[in-house]
Chain A
């Protein structure tokens, strides 16, 4: 296997006596979709937050493209190519959809200590923003104020914002959360269309989506990795069935 894009080694984060993640190790290789599943409270979101930098691990190390980012702040990791979507939709509610994505383009386009030229008429921000909106299926919705978009559309917008920073790796925290079946199917199509372009670490509850999308699956139970493998291997794994899939079905 090629050198992984992201490796996390021995991540431990305890809140009092509770270990949210317990020497968790996982890696993501270029171009793959690596899904992380597990019952509620398994530490999936805590794991994502340690990777994105919002939570500092007590122990362990994180490397992105060979570089140690364990102690780097959130915004530096983003600059190095980590983009993230949030479990609870997090967009700029008062901005239009296109403004939201243009902000992400701007984040990737050098520093923003530019005080004179109007940003809203800058084609180097607006045309990539419009292209990315098209890509996620929000073409024609660019002028809508983000908080007025439907829930599913806001989730698509989040993906667009993550994509617009030209990331190496997308960290997606339950992108299908709260979606109806139609919306969820559109999101699966969108994500499978990204396969190969960008590596994705996907935390998701929707098992159909996970097995449709993932190249590899890691199962977390109470902060610990219990299995990693191809979707078929995971489905067949008796430990996993007992710990997770069985009780879910």
Chain B
């Protein structure tokens, strides 16, 4: 743990010294997706809610940042009050992104959680696709072509245009969210969430209004995914509806399953492995998914608890 932390801390200066500074960006992207994967795992792995529309909150967070920038003082279409200078601060923009994603998750969750099983998977997917097509047809914000972001948000005392600074901010946010997540899953709330996954009928018979607890978790997960989306918009300096496409939901879910559901480290490891594989394999072949597919099949067959579960127990199928 300490070794990993130290390695991540010295990665930017090392990469620059070795003239391989693309590694900084690669890991920044990994941190952002890791945050999205951890947020999905909160409801998927701990709460047993198989949401197939997580890209909706990710994309919503990204679009909030992009729209604020578009209407901001330095954007293409300044419009008061969005042109107020303090809205360029990450503190304001990211908070708004989180709030918007949380509100969206509240609306979608309130409806979707009335269903369960296959219906829940389908309805969350349907909502995300609706949002995708909404932004495809929203010409004001570029429609299918997306929206460029003139410059990254600012944070007091930091220049986020500097790749290393942005790397550290993303790393710190991921670390803080992991600590909060750790407290959460072991708290009373976390126990209720895991109880709902194990046996919801029993939870009801014990007197837990499970809907409220599941909806709260759903909103928290959406909020964290929105934060990841806000970071992603900053990272790419660009957003487009593809961020909300169902394949992004699928990719985030693959990270969770690959790394290990129902753990906090699992989704992080899943994000690292998946994105590194993509980076390395896509240098050699266009259809790198041909390698990823069998790897996934092997993991699902022989290490049901994912890479982290397999590593922790040395027992692939306990």
A residues within 8 Å of B by Cβ? 52, 73-76, 78-79, 83-84, 86, 90-95, 99, 102-104, 106-108, 112-120, 122, 125, 161, 165
Contacts and interface: CB of A to CB of B under 8 A. Distances in A.
Contacts of A95: 194-195, 198
A154 to B, nearest CB: 12
Given A91-B202, A93-B199, A106-B192, A75 B208 contact: yes
Contacts of A115: 183-184, 187, 189-190
14 contacts: A52-B205, A73-B204, A75-B204, A75-B208, A83-B206, A86-B202, A90-B199, A92-B199, A92-B202, A103-B206, A107-B206, A117-B187, A117-B188, A165-B207
A107 B201 contact: no
A241 B204 CA distance: 38
Given A90-B199, A92-B198, A106 B188 contact: yes
Nearest to A93: B198
Main secondary structure of the interface of B (DSSP, over half): helix
A116 B208 contact: no
Contacts of B189: 112-115
B205 A74 contact: yes
The 3 lowest CB-CB distance pairs between A and B, nearest first, are A78-B207, A107-B206, A92-B198
A116 B187 contact: yes
Contacts of A99: 191
B206 A78 contact: yes
A95 B199 CA distance: 11
B216 interface: yes
Interface in B13-32: none
Contacts of A76: 207, 209
Contact of A112 (B186, B191, B205): B191
A78 B208 CA distance: 8
B206 A112 contact: no
